[in-house]
Amino acid sequence: MKKSLFYFSATGNSLAITREIANKLEDCQLISIAEAVKKDKYDLHSDIVGILFPVYCLDIPKIVKEFLKKLNFNGNPYIFAIATNNGKPGFALDSVDKLLKEKNQKLDLGYTLIMPGNSVVIQDHTNCREEQIVRLNNSKVIISEMIKDIQKKKKGIIEGDFSVKARIKRLIYKLAVYKIYKPQNHFWITEECILCGICKQICPKDNITLKNKEVRWNSNCEACLACFHWCPQSAINLGKNTMDKIRYHHPKINLDDIVK
C-alpha cells in the first residue's frame, strides 16, 4: 500500500508531526510541498495521502493551495489533513476539502493541532518558553490518538471554525497581511548579519536575494517567517518590535530538515 505524506513547514511544527505519523504508519514517502509545487502538475498514485501544514490567516498557506491545484489523482485514496495552528484554525481544513472536491476527491479526516505560535506579522503571536513546552507535550498525546484514527481510516470529521464571524475575520486578516502590510516591506537586518545566505536558501518562495553584500526581500512573500526564525544570527527583524523576540523552531527539527 503506497502512503504519501505531503508537508509544508516553516518552523518545524508541521514537519515534526509529519515525521511522527510516518514513523507509525511505516513505509511512507515524505514529500516537501515547497519542492513538489515547482512541478507543473503532480501525479499521485497513493492509497493513503496526508497533507500537513500550518494555518495562515485562518486559512491554508498560498503555497499549499497552489500545490493542491496541481495534484492529479489516480484512483480514490484515503485523504487526511492536519492543520497545525496557534489556537485559531478557522477555515483551513474546509479550504482543503473544497480544493479536493474540485478534483472529485474529498477530505476524509481533517484534524487541527495546537502547537507553539510562530507569527510576529503585524502583532506578536508567539508564546513564552513555558507555554511552548506545554503545547509540545500536549501535542504528543493528541497526535498519538490522531494516528490511531488514521490507521483505522476514520472518516467524517473536519475540524475548524466555519462561523460567519471567522469568515469575515479570514478576509480581513488576509487583506491586512498580504495586501496592506506586506511583510516583505518590513524586514530589516542588523549588523549581526554575516551574509551566510541561509535566509535565501530556506525561503520556500525564492523570495530573498543577496546582492552586493545586501539581503533583499522581493514581493513574492508567503509570510511564513522561516527566514526570520532560522537566521543563525537572529539578525532579521520584522517591524519595530522583534529585536528582543526569541526565535522559535520545533526542538526536533533542525535547519537541514527545512532547507532540503
Q: Which residues bind ligand SF4 (CB under 6 A)?
A: 183, 189, 193-199, 202-205, 207-208, 215, 217, 221-227, 231, 233, 235-236
Interface pick for ligand FMN out of 1, 39, 87, 145 (rule CB under 6 A): 87
What torsion, rounded to 10 degrees, do the Cα atoms 160, 165, 166, 168 define? 150
Cell of 119: 507569527
Instruction: Based on the shown chain and the rule CB under 6 A, indicate whether residue 111 belongs to the binding site for ligand FMN.
Output: no
Min dist CB 125 to ligand FMN, Å, is 7
Number of H helices, E strands in the chain: 9, 12
Smallest CA-to-CA distance from 4 within 69, 98, 95, 77 is with 77
Cell of 24: 507509525
Nearest-Å Rg of the Cα atoms of the chain is 18
Instruction: Based on the shown chain and the rule CB under 6 A, indicate whether residue 110 belongs to the binding site for ligand FMN.
Output: no
Residue 55 binds which entry of ligand SF4, ligand FMN, none, CB below 5-8 Å type-dependent = ligand FMN
Min dist CB 145 to ligand FMN, Å, is 18
Min dist CB 172 to ligand FMN, Å, is 11
Instruction: Based on the shown chain and the rule CB under 6 A, indicate whether residue 34 belongs to the binding site for ligand FMN.
Output: no
Task: Report how far residue 2's alpha carbon sits from residue 48's, in angstroms, rounded to the nearest whole number.
Answer: 7
Toward ligand FMN, which CB reaches closer, 98 or 247? 247
Task: Report how far residue 172's alpha carbon sits from residue 87's, in angstroms, rounded to the nearest whole number.
Answer: 18
